[in-house]
Structure formats: C-alpha cells, structure tokens
Structure 1
Amino acid sequence: MSKHAATLSITLLLLLVSLCAVVVAGQKRYFPEGALDATSAGSDGFLNRWFSGQLEAMSEPAMKPAAGIRTYRFTWLRTFNHPVAVRIVIAREHCMLHATELDGAGGYAPGKVYRRKVEAVDPGTCARVEAFIRASGFWDLPRCGQTQGEDGSEWIVEAATTRYRVVSRWTPRAGPIRMIGQQLLALTGWQYPAGEMY
C-alpha cells in the first residue's frame, strides 16, 4: 500500500469513527447517568441507549419532576414482540393515559407505531394505581434485578413526582414491577396472548 493510500485509509477511518460518535452522541438519552446500572458504566450506557431508542421511536417524552404533576410509565420491551409504553399523567383532578405499541420487536428494531391511545382516565382509577405503586415499596426497590438473559423482556417502571426513579426487571414472573406493569397495561384495554405475556 502506498503512503498516499495509507493516509487516505486512515483519514476515512477517522471520519467514519467521528460520524459514528456524532450519531451516538445525538441520540436522546431518557435516563440519568447511572440510573439503570450504578455498578457498571458500560452496562448503564448500553441499557440507556437500548431503552431510549425504543422510547424515542414511540415519541415518548423523557420523564422528570414537574410541579403539580405526577407521571408514571411502564415500558415493556419483549425480545421478539412489539414494544409497548403506557404512561399516566396526573394533574390536579385529571388523569390522562398515553399508550403506544410499535410494530417492531423490543430486542431488535423498534419499528413504527402500530397503535396509539390517548384518553382521559377516571381519576379514581388512577388514584388506585398510584396508591398501589406507593404500597408496593416501589420507591425503595433496588433499581436493577437479576442479570439479563438472552431471550425475555425488560419491564421498566418510572415515576416522576417531586423526585424521579426508575426500576427495571428482566422477565419478572411475580413481584411489584410485574404487578405495576400489569396494572398500567390493563388501563389500555389491549389484550395479549398468554404466550406473549413474558
């Protein structure tokens, strides 16, 4: 290889690396640094990119505390099935449901919007969900559960009231995160076959 060709190859390689860095840096991050895995920056960054990419495809907002508003979101990322996010926003006596399901797969490309629902929910129903979240000990749960496996699903619950918290579990078969996720999912009225409820 000539000196000119080697210089050109190195220049092209540096340009490619720079472009990749810009693309990664330009992706919206939905979670504070260390919120998903405080023990490993690499794992935390990987999860943040994965979860954020799915939420961005749904046009979901990043959650943060806001005066007079309480927001809860369940994000369901199944390896081989459609990604789903269900969010309730409680402000004074009003409660709004925002639900989105994509046509891709939670472990792969998110795809495009398959269905979306935005509607008012009875404030009493939202109050019961919120009371369950408090009673479940959500605010004191460890942020992460067991290590992820190859095939399964991420159950991610976020809350933004006067403070923000996110808790995730890999394919939970029971426990508070599964129960919170099921309650929020039930608000949509969407039905899923038993084989897809993993």
Structure 2
Amino acid sequence: MTRGFAVVQTLLVIASAIACGWYATTKSMHFPLALRDQFWVCETGYTLPQPSLDAFWDSEYSSALRAAREPSLYLASLDAEAVPVEVVRFTWLRSFHNPVVVRIDASADGTMRMTATETYNGALVDGRGYRRVSRVLSADEAVALRSLLETDRLAQAAPIGCEEGLDGAQWLIERSGRGHYDLWRRWSPDSGPVHEVGLMMLKLTGWSVEPVY
C-alpha cells in the first residue's frame, strides 16, 4: 500500500513538473511575455513576489480570448497605424459561469463601439457567441466611460492585486493604444478602479450578469 502510494505520488510530481514546464515554454498568444518577469510585492495575501501575468493565467486568458475570437491588444499597440486608436477590454473568467469579454473600440472621431461576447464552456456555439452584442455607445455612455478611464485611479493602480482564493472570478482590464499597452488583473474585487471599470463595461452590455463576483 505504501509503495503504491509512493508510486502515485511520484507520478503526480512528474505530471506537475511537465505541466509547469509546458506553461513556462508556451508562447503567449495575446500578452507580452515580459509580464512574466515583471514582479510585484504584495502587502497581504501572497508571501512571495508575483508576476504581472504568469504563464498559467496567460494561457487561461488567451484560451478565453481565442474562444471569443478576440485579437491581441498588445500586438495591436505595436502598429503605429492601428485602427481604432484606443481599445479597452474587460475579460471576466468566473468559476461557476460562462466567460464574458467586453471590448470598447474608440475611433479618432470620439465614437466608441462596444462588442461583448459570452462563450459557452469556453467555446463559440455554431460559430457565434453564446451571447453577443455590438453597438455604438451613446454620447452620454461614452462620456461616462471616458470620465472613469481618465481618472488617475486606474493608471496608478498596480497591475495585480493581492487577493487569494480557490473559487471566484478573475477580472482583467486591458488598455491599448498606438504605442502603449497596460494591464490590470484582480481576483473577485469588490472595490477599486478595476472593479468600477469592469462593472461599467458589464452594464453597457444590457445583459443580466448576476451574480457579480
């Protein structure tokens, strides 16, 4: 019995090592690899410095974005002639509900278009999102969103939070423009700029997304 347990334990260790090695060597499809070497010290929660985006979460977010047929905002930021001129995207990965991606494309004339996609079990259904909506924001909606984005609270926030938990939701905000790319991620935030921007973008979809966690 003891020997059998030892064998199983050894196999689990080997499998874990293989998985870690795979994630570590996998190229990102959506995010700059430099984020894996950008570490932040948390005052609470994790005891060791954490990367802005490790290989595991890079893979999880990239999978969700591929399923929603979303482009890499980082690569778009490298294009000096990219259109639209600025993009903000909220990716919401929930433990018990479908992933939701909300993207705002801002044009040079100030027009903002919102595109939201909810995938079913991480995939499109019949080539379409489980739910998908795309529309131009009203002038009032665009002003409200721009006002929130232009405060210093989001710009000055650390790329990562210090929250921990087994279940909940990953909140990711990306902001991309010509020559710049920024990212902020949190685990089930209940306050702060990432929470505020995510909630506003969810509201713009017009969907019922309860519970929010």
Question: Which range, TM-score by smaller chain?
Answer: 0.7 to 0.9
CA-CA distance at 1:57 after TM superposition? 0.5
SS in 1 for 2:54: helix
Structure 1: 5+ residue stretches without partners: 1-16, 105-109
SS in 1 for 2:150: helix
CA-CA distance at 1:60 after TM superposition? 0.6
CA-CA distance at 1:147 after TM superposition? 4.4
1:55 alignment partner, one of 53, 65, 81: 65
Q: Which residue of 2 aligns with 1:78?
A: 94
Q: Which residue of 1 aligns with 2:43?
A: none
Q: Which residues of 2 match residues 140-159 of structure 1 at below 5 A?
A: 140-159=156-175
Q: Which amino acid aligns with 1:35?
A: L
CA-CA distance at 1:59 after TM superposition? 0.2
Structure 2 CA distance for partners of 1:29 and 1:44, relative to 1, 3 Å: same
Q: Which residue of 1 aligns with 2:205?
A: 188
Per-residue CA distance 1:117-154 (angstroms, 9 max, x = gap)? 11111244223202211215212210000144210101
Q: What is the TM-score with the length of structure 2 in the denominator?
A: 0.71
SS in 2 for 1:137: helix
- Contact 2:68/2:123 (CA < 8 Å) preserved in 1? no
CA-CA distance at 1:161 after TM superposition? 2.3
Q: Which residues of 2 match residues 18-33 of structure 1 at below 5 A?
A: 25=26, 29-33=29-33
Q: Which residues of 2 match residues 1-198 of structure 1 at below 5 A?
A: 25=26, 29-35=29-35, 38-39=38-39, 44-63=54-73, 64-65=76-77, 66=82, 69-93=85-109, 94-104=111-121, 110-112=122-124, 113-162=129-178, 163-193=180-210, 196-198=211-213
Identity %: 28
- Contact 2:28/2:58 (CA < 8 Å) preserved in 1? no
Q: Which residue of 2 aligns with 1:9?
A: none
- Contact 1:35/1:143 (CA < 8 Å) preserved in 2? no
* d(CA) in 2 for partners of 1:155, 1:36: 18
Aligned length: 170
Q: What is the TM-score with the length of structure 1 in the denominator?
A: 0.76
CA RMSD of aligned residues (A): 2.5
Structure 2: 5+ residue stretches without partners: 1-17, 40-49
Deviant stretches of 4+, over 4 Å:
40-43
- Contact 2:164/2:187 (CA < 8 Å) preserved in 1? yes
